[in-house]
Structure 1
Amino acid sequence: MPRTTVNTQVYNDAVPMEFTRALLVQARAHDKDVAAILRAARFPFDPLRQSPQTVFVSREQYSRLCVELVRALGDESGGVMPDVRTPVGTTRLILLSMLGSPDLGSAIRRAIEFNASCRVRRDASVTNRLVVDTGGKEATLSYLHSDDAPELQHNVLCNLAMWMRFCGWLIGQQIDLSSADCAGPEPEFTAGLRHFFHCPVTYRQPVNLVRFSARHLEAPLLRDEAQLHEFLKLAPYHIIIEPQTSTVSVTHRIREILGDDFREELPSFEALTGLLNMSARTLRRRLEKEGTSYQRIKDNARRDTAITLLSRRGLTVSEVAERVGFSDPSAFHRSFKKWTGLSPGSYR
């Protein structure tokens, strides 16, 4: 029986006003002319001074504002990386250097080498590494500057998450982070971290790092320079707000089949092979190549929908549990904590 898809996507190609205000607060913190940045971005009002009739802006407006903030600061990190200033144009050159790589692992290593050679730093005490475990199942990407202020390390960790989103675009696959480490203490406000990390985050660790399936490193790059040029027009939106959905991966096709309403029974693996017109062997091989499994896709789909529903007012945790397919609220609590490292109540 076909499943009903209920769209619970938070942004739906629009950006909540809070993200726009955060950009302007950053500009003001660096003593930049906010009014001039808004004019350059062709923004119709000042979100810091006026109460607009809408609580969203378009992805184009948000992306233009990001570009103008970068120009004003002369720093493509937006002033959030504590150890580095990234001159305007550097990121594009790093991305171009990645395009000629045979696979994602080679591309990341090339970006690390490029990054180490062209950024303007206070000193050279920087650790930036890509490591694959001895079993070849898990990869970690890490970054640490030994002199960074501990309270700013979570910004570095979020920057790593943004790079992984770009890497996912390069290979046409969603790269799910299994866990992350932060070299600093847990910040007072964790909404930014929760936006980028739907997985457990451990604080006060030796380095900032993200963990993901090593199978993604074997994936060939699917993008060319012309596609990169188009992507960069809306890159701030797709990297910071909502990753660009891949339509070429089998993971994406399965997520479309599952939809967002989990009150009905999900298709069995055997039924899924029929819906995808694939043999069981082919489907397992394709999923393994994308560093995932059917069970993990189902878990991630439930997790993402639960996170969206928990952000809404008016729904109890028990109601959220029911909507994502759990008849027993305690089972939902256990699963949600396994997925995110937090209980549903703490996450909310």
Structure 2
Amino acid sequence: MVKLRVDSDFYNEAVPIEFTRALLSQAKALGADVTALLEAARFPFDPLSQHAQTVFVSREQYSRLCLQLIKVLGDESGGVMPDVRTPVGTTRLILLSMLNSSNLSAALRRSIEFNATCRVRQGAKVVNSLTVDAEGRDATLTYMCEDDPADQQHNVLCNVALWLRFCGWLIGQHIDIVSAGCGGPEPEFNAGLRHFFPCPVVFDQPVNSVSFSARHLEAELVRNEADLHQFLKLAPYYIIIEPEPSEVSVTQQIRVILGTDFRAEMPSFEDLTGLLNMSARTLRRRLEKEGTSYQRIKDNARRDAAISLLSREGLTVSEVAERVGFSDPSAFHRSFKKWTGQSPGSYR
């Protein structure tokens, strides 16, 4: 029986074993030799074995396994982008082409141009665009290839979400997806969509799309080539499991202050200005620049905690509501449905 020591530091950066098992199941479905894959990735045990009782693996172990699968398949999408294979090194080249852009808007348009120029799809029509609504409030990134099977569109949509996480790393900000559309039907198993989209997802749409605050498009890029070299070593963890926190993001600093226990009253905006050593005017301006507000950050912190707690066994919906700061379960139901488009019971 294999066991892994889990201390508090490890737990904060650990990967639930379910992600590793899902990766290996995907590898088997694609014809990869799982035993050879684990050996090449220097994995200490077989997560698919009935004797493996480990609950978590390290971010380094998970990242090595992902990178080894990509090497074996010769496809950086891991075989889940049905329209085109992504040769090893493509992501690095796209990010290098984006690094010296004036802002995220210019960087994203470069990545779209890269896709159109460097990927061959045998004549299939592709929609890949970045638009901003008339009010200048929300930006929408779309992707759709007409030859892709309808029942694979949810995987394509998840890859669009992954790309936004790359973009968040480039600007040192968390990009919160406020809504999404899938170009296919709702899949029978939607754990992947839930992981990447803690927001309403509308299915059977003309294209795959993700919408987020347009203010992020104005953000300057804060990374360089040396940063990219280090980031790519753990990119699977940061892009698939948990985005890398940024010290330059006020949103991230506030999330750290709020923590994960919301049974006590949250700091007021005035309290926050003192904790961050900023004037109220400066804090509002910084939050506006990051496309968010203190209320949205509080809502998202509660939402993320609720989603995590609902995934655990042994807690009732009322207990989850209490842990995320709702004394009235009905108020929690209303808020959760507003956040995710589903009731807590349906989501569970």
Same fold, TM-score > 0.5, yes or no = yes
5 Å-filtered alignment, 1:1-12, equals: 12=12
1:286 aligns with 2:268: no
Matched residue count: 341
What is the CA–CA distance in structure 2 between the aligned matches of 1:102 and 1:231, rounded to whole Å? Answer: 21
Unaligned runs of 5+ in 1: 1-7
* TM-aligned CA deviation for residue 274 of structure 1: 1.9
* TM-aligned CA deviation for residue 121 of structure 1: 2.0
- TM-score, normalised to structure 2, is 0.95
SS of the residue corresponding to residue 210 of structure 1 reads: strand
Q: Deviations over 1:16-61 (max 9, x none)?
A: 1221122222221122222221111111222223431312111111
5 Å-filtered alignment, 1:33-48, equals: 33-48=33-48
What is the CA–CA distance in structure 2 between the aligned matches of 1:173 and 1:144, rounded to whole Å? Answer: 26
What is the CA–CA distance in structure 2 between the aligned matches of 1:285 and 1:236, rounded to whole Å? Answer: 33
Name 2:96's counterpart in structure 1: 96
C-alpha contact 1:86 1:120 (8 A) present in aligned 2: no
* TM-aligned CA deviation for residue 315 of structure 1: 1.1
* TM-aligned CA deviation for residue 122 of structure 1: 3.3
What is the CA–CA distance in structure 1 between the aligned matches of 2:151 and 2:71, rounded to whole Å? Answer: 26
5 Å-filtered alignment, 1:320-339, equals: 320-339=320-339
* TM-aligned CA deviation for residue 11 of structure 1: 6.0
SS of the residue corresponding to residue 302 of structure 1 reads: helix
C-alpha contact 1:84 1:122 (8 A) present in aligned 2: no
Pair 105,19 (structure 1): closer, same or farther in 2 beyond 3 Å: same
What is the CA–CA distance in structure 2 between the aligned matches of 1:10 and 1:213, rounded to whole Å? Answer: 33
- Partner AA of 2:222 in structure 1: L
* TM-aligned CA deviation for residue 272 of structure 1: 1.6
- Partner AA of 1:152 in structure 2: Q
Name 2:165's counterpart in structure 1: 165
C-alpha contact 1:87 1:119 (8 A) present in aligned 2: no
SS of the residue corresponding to residue 23 of structure 2 reads: helix
What is the CA–CA distance in structure 2 between the aligned matches of 1:53 and 1:259, rounded to whole Å? Answer: 29
C-alpha contact 1:83 1:122 (8 A) present in aligned 2: no
* TM-aligned CA deviation for residue 132 of structure 1: 0.7
Deviates more, 1:61-70 or 1:36-45: 36-45
What is the CA–CA distance in structure 2 between the aligned matches of 1:162 and 1:9, rounded to whole Å? Answer: 25
C-alpha contact 2:124 2:146 (8 A) present in aligned 1: no
C-alpha contact 1:151 1:184 (8 A) present in aligned 2: yes
5 Å-filtered alignment, 1:144-293, equals: 144-293=144-293
What is the CA–CA distance in structure 2 between the aligned matches of 1:236 and 1:122, rounded to whole Å? Answer: 29
Deviates more, 1:219-228 or 1:251-260: 251-260
Name 2:126's counterpart in structure 1: 126
What is the CA–CA distance in structure 1 between the aligned matches of 2:16 and 2:333, rounded to whole Å? Answer: 28
C-alpha contact 1:85 1:121 (8 A) present in aligned 2: no
* TM-aligned CA deviation for residue 10 of structure 1: 11
What is the CA–CA distance in structure 2 between the aligned matches of 1:276 and 1:89, rounded to whole Å? Answer: 40
C-alpha contact 1:70 1:77 (8 A) present in aligned 2: yes
Name 1:143's counterpart in structure 2: 143
C-alpha contact 1:180 1:202 (8 A) present in aligned 2: yes
Runs of 4+ in 1 over 4 A off after TM superposition: 8-11
Name 1:5's counterpart in structure 2: none
Q: Deviations over 1:133-171 (max 9, x none)?
A: 111110000000112111100000000111111111111
Deviates more, 1:222-231 or 1:109-118: 109-118
Name 2:5's counterpart in structure 1: none
C-alpha contact 1:105 1:218 (8 A) present in aligned 2: yes
Name 1:306's counterpart in structure 2: 306
Name 1:68's counterpart in structure 2: 68
Counting aligned pairs with the same residue, the percent is: 76
1:83 aligns with 2:83: yes
* TM-aligned CA deviation for residue 190 of structure 1: 0.9
What is the CA–CA distance in structure 2 between the aligned matches of 1:126 and 1:279, rounded to whole Å? Answer: 47
SS of the residue corresponding to residue 261 of structure 2 reads: coil
- Partner AA of 2:196 in structure 1: F
Q: Deviations over 1:152-204 (max 9, x none)?
A: 00000000111111111111111000010001110001111101111110100
Unaligned runs of 5+ in 2: 1-7
Q: Deviations over 1:306-337 (max 9, x none)?
A: 11111111111011111111111011000001
C-alpha contact 1:181 1:210 (8 A) present in aligned 2: yes
SS of the residue corresponding to residue 183 of structure 2 reads: coil
Name 1:4's counterpart in structure 2: none
What is the CA–CA distance in structure 1 between the aligned matches of 2:94 and 2:51, rounded to whole Å? Answer: 39
What is the CA–CA distance in structure 2 between the aligned matches of 1:20 and 1:250, rounded to whole Å? Answer: 32
What is the CA–CA distance in structure 2 between the aligned matches of 1:193 and 1:11, rounded to whole Å? Answer: 24
- Partner AA of 1:262 in structure 2: F
Name 1:347's counterpart in structure 2: 347
